[in-house]
């Protein structure tokens, strides 16, 4: 190696090291990791990222504290009309936490109740549910539509439902039943 190459090689190596370590420091300060799924790909309503962050927040709790923690997260999604995201998050949480898998019907039921209380198009709300967790979401929507407690804690009253929504819901359910029968 001639003298000029030696004089240029050392500063080039030092410059590359500074850039490399500087980039790593900047990524660490910004809490960014390009190899971590939730920061590289996941959006704000991504069920995988929500499940991971929910598990991080609630997974170490036990008993009713754990149930309450997960329920608040899942029910808040349903209250925003994000029933599919809530159900997807529940499915992923079931893989991460055996307690969630065991109590999945209860969580799905809560999602359905919250979504049903929200009002709006019954058929649309119902169709956002899925049959996972022993169809708990469907059960919750129906329960929310049939009954609602009075603010004074008195008798339970019926909630009126638009017939148009139930008719469309009935048609959608018949179509799904036919699809399921063909799949057997």
Indicate whether 75 belongs to any domain: yes
The answer to whether residues 74 and 81 touch, using CB atoms and an 8 Å cutoff, is no
Q: How many CA atoms lie within 13 A of 56 on its CB side?
A: 7
Contact 48, 37 (CB under 8 A): yes
pLDDT at position 153: 52
76, containing H or E segment: helix 63-79
Q: Which helix (H) or strand (E) holds 148?
A: strand 148-149
CB neighbourhood size of 181 (10 A): 8
pLDDT of residue 107: 93
Task: State both tokens at 26.
Answer: 């900047």
pTM: 0.59
**Domain contains 64:** yes
Question: Hunting for tokens 């799905």 — which residue is that?
Answer: 108
| 181 domain-assigned | no
The span from the CA of 121 to the CA of 161, in Å, is: 9
Domain assignment of residue 95, yes or no: yes
Determine, yes or no, domain membership for 137.
yes
Q: How far apart are CA 111 and CA 47, in angstroms?
A: 14
Range of the domain at 139: 33-164
Q: What sign does the dihedral 168-170-174-177 (CA atoms) show?
A: positive
CA distance 66 to 68: 5
The owner of tokens 């001639």 is 2
184 residues of the chain, pLDDT tens digit each:
576 667 777 777 877 777 777 777 766 665 555 544 443 344 456 889 999 999 999 999 999 999 999 999 999 999 998 999 999 999 999 999 999 999 999 999 899 999 988 877 878 888 889 888 888 898 888 888 776 544 555 444 444 443 334 445 455 555 554 454 454 4
- In sequence order, the 6+-apart residues with CB closer than 8 A to the CB of 134 are 104, 105, 108
Report the number of distinct structural domains present in the chain. 1
Token pair, residue 177, equals 């039943």
Distance from the Cα of residue 113 to its chain's centroid: 16
Is 28 inside a domain boundary? Answer: no
**pLDDT at residue 27, rounded to an integer:** 65
Q: Is residue 90 part of a domain?
A: yes
DSSP state of 135: H
The verdict on residue 173 lying in a domain is: no
Q: What integer pLDDT is reported at residue 180 of this predicted model?
A: 47
For residue 181, the model assigns a pLDDT of 47
Task: State how far the alpha carbon of 63 is from the alpha carbons of 6, 48, 73, 103, 129, in Å.
Answer: 67, 24, 16, 11, 26
């Amino acid at each position: 190696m001639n003298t000029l190459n030696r004089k240029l090689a050392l500063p080039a190596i030092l410059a590359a090291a500074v850039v490399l370590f500087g980039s790593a420091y900047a990524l660490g300060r910004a809490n960014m990791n390009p190899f971590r799924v939730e920061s590289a790909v996941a959006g704000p309503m991504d069920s995988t990222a929500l499940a991971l962050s929910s598990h991080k927040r609630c997974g170490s709790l036990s008993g009713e504290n754990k149930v309450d923690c997960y329920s608040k997260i899942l029910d808040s999604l349903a209250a925003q009309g994000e029933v599919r995201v809530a159900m997807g998050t529940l499915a992923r949480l079931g893989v991460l936490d055996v307690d969630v898998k065991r109590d999945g019907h209860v969580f799905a039921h809560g999602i359905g109740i919250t979504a049903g209380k929200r009002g709006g198009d019954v058929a649309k709300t119902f169709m956002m549910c899925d049959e996972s967790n022993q169809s708990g979401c469907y059960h919750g929507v129906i329960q929310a539509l049939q009954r609602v407690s009075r603010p004074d804690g008195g008798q339970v009253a019926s909630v009126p439902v638009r017939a148009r929504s139930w008719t469309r819901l009935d048609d959608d359910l018949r179509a799904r039943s036919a699809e399921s029968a063909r799949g057997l």
